[in-house]
Amino acid sequence: MGDYSNMASYYDVIMTSGYYDYAKIVDNLVLQDQVEKVLEIGCGTGLILEELARRKSSIQISGIDFTGPMLDIAKKRLKPFDNVDLSQQNVCDLTLTNAYDLTFSYGGVWYFVIDGEKEPFLVSHIPEHDANLLGIAKMAQHIAPQGTLLLGIQGPHHDYETVISNGMKYSQKIDPTEIGFTKHYYLSDGPQTLMAQTVRYRTYNFDQAKEMLSAHGLRYVPETHDKKLFLRFYRN
């Protein structure tokens, strides 16, 4: 499982400098009908859940994350919201008391990459295949019958660098591997390296991803509308 402890202190600076559009992500989430309980798998520092809790004070919101320092920041951020519950958990050992109408991950444990007209492929923060199977099984146990799983869509990963807040420079480097790729994250301020983090990812083609999810009753639901940020799976 990818651990982002080295990145935690700088995560918000990077992510709120144009890496993600949190308002648009939550726009997609609030369109879901008849949702009373929501779970985010890999909630990080709570940036998505904060926006969701502001808009949906009447629903019960839960979030899990593997990285303690990230979750500590999330707990401080979400303390004002009494409808949010957070816990540090490995999805492969997921144990929660609820079944959720809506479960989602956007850049968390699992997400899809779509490159133009090419078929989507699944990216996992879990490099071990057996652990992916176990994690999906545990997650599915917490999705209510007729519930929805939304897995985020990202564009293709590539090497790049950019100047972000206060003149700091963020950069990333991608190295292909036999099972997927390794991503190296860097943040520097002039000559000083503030953060360096390396995470291994496993990838699956679309047929493999659908097969793993359907084995636990999660059926892919194609959608044709533009500007979608998630692929949808429906629990039988």
Domain region containing 105: 8-156+201-235
SS3 content of the chain, % helix, strand, coil (to 5): 30, 35, 35
Q: Is residue 137 part of a domain?
A: yes
Q: Is residue 219 part of a domain?
A: yes
Q: Is residue 205 part of a domain?
A: yes
Distance of CA 151 to the CA centre of its chain: 8
Q: Is residue 172 part of a domain?
A: no
Q: Give start and end residues of each alpha helix (H) in 84-128.
A: none
Q: Is residue 192 part of a domain?
A: no
Residue 123's CATH number: 3.40.50.150
Those residues with Cβ within 8 angstroms of residue 105's Cβ, 6 or more apart along the chain or in another chain:
40, 41, 42, 111, 150, 151, 152
Q: pTM score, two decimals?
A: 0.93
Q: Is residue 98 part of a domain?
A: yes
pLDDT value for 32: 76
Q: Is residue 49 part of a domain?
A: yes
Q: pLDDT tens, 188-200?
A: 999 999 999 999 9
Among 135, 11, 16, 127, residue whose Cα is nearest residue 69: 11
Residues paired with residue 174 on neighbouring β-strands, in sequence order = 183
Those residues with Cβ within 8 angstroms of residue 57's Cβ, 6 or more apart along the chain or in another chain:
81, 83
pLDDT value for 34: 80
Q: For the chain, how many structural domains are there in total? A: 1
Phi, psi of 34 (to 5 degrees): 50, 50
Among 206, 208, 90, 233, residue whose Cα is nearest residue 151: 233
Q: How many Å apart are CA 114 and CA 79, to the nearest integer?
A: 35
% of residues, the chain, pLDDT over 70: 94
Q: Is residue 55 part of a domain?
A: yes
